[in-house]
Chain A
Amino acid sequence: GESVGLHLPTLSVQEGDNSIINCAYSNSASDYFIWYKQESGKGPQFIIDIRSNMDKRQGQRVTVLLNKTVKHLSLQIAATQPGDSAVYFCAENPDPSGGYNKLIFGAGTRLAVHP
């Protein structure tokens, strides 16, 4: 079935370092991908998104890279801060026909930032 998975369940980094969180997706028809941040006991918070007609998109301290050839998505966080500690999920929209489509979430990666 359709699935979105992650290579690393946990990632520990030093404050100030760059973080890279990876995600693999299986549905080649997916055309929209989103990264969410979830802090303990809270709902997911939108970080950045990218459409399949792009391979890179940058935000404030974050960059998402999309490699459609190998169906791989990554989130890069520059100068990681303690406040970045959370669980990060990638999500895909498997139905590109438009409208309000449901999202399929990956397993999640916990990012732990150490001082």
Chain B
Amino acid sequence: GAVVSQHPSRVICKSGTSVKIECRSLDFQATTMFWYRQFPKQSLMLMATSNEGSKATYEQGVEKDKFLINHASLTLSTLTVTSAHPEDSSFYICSAPIGGTGGAGEQFFGPGTRLTVL
């Protein structure tokens, strides 16, 4: 099956620093990827849709200047948490869809990145 990877899997940083998280589709191309955030014991919340060759689309309430998204190629999207603060500590997960006719294609999720801001 299709594989989506994320790097790093875990990161600890000091408050005020920026952190970059990579999402790669390893054996398929993805013009669209999705970024989710998940707090402990909660569901996945969609943050933004990453589009190759154009600007990301952010969900309501998500600060685009805080969470910078760059879809650099057909296999790579990056999420940069700028000036991170403890409340940004969360599990960040990306997904990439394959195919889809007449509806959503199957989405493959990355393993997630655990961000801890001290």
List residues of chain A with CB under 8 Å of any chain B CB.
31-32, 34, 36, 41-46, 49, 51, 89, 93, 96, 98-108
List residues of chain B with CB under 8 Å of any chain A CB.
4, 6, 31-32, 34, 42-46, 49, 91, 93, 95, 97, 100-112, 114
Contact: B103 with A43, CB < 8 Å? no
Contact: B93 with A105, CB < 8 Å? no
Contact: B111 with A98, CB < 8 Å? no
Contact: A44 with B93, CB < 8 Å? yes
- Best-surrounded residue of B32, B91, B103, B109 (most CB of chain A within 10 A): B103
Contact: B103 with A102, CB < 8 Å? no
Consensus secondary structure, chain B interface: strand
Closest 7 pairs (CB-CB, A-B)? A43-B109, A93-B104, A100-B32, A101-B104, A100-B97, A105-B44, A105-B43
Residues of B within 8 A of A41 (CB): 91, 112, 114
For residue A104, which residue of chain B has the nearest CB?
B46
Smallest beta-carbon distance B101→chain A, Å:
7
Contact: A96 with B32, CB < 8 Å? no
Residues of B within 8 A of A100 (CB): 31-32, 97, 100, 104-105
A47 to B105, CA, bound (A): 14
Smallest beta-carbon distance A85→chain B, Å:
15
A22 to B93, CA, bound (A): 24
Given A98-B100, A100-B97, A100-B100, verify A46-B46 contact (CB < 8 Å): no
A96 to B109, CA, bound (A): 21
Residues of B within 8 A of A43 (CB): 4, 6, 93, 95, 109-112
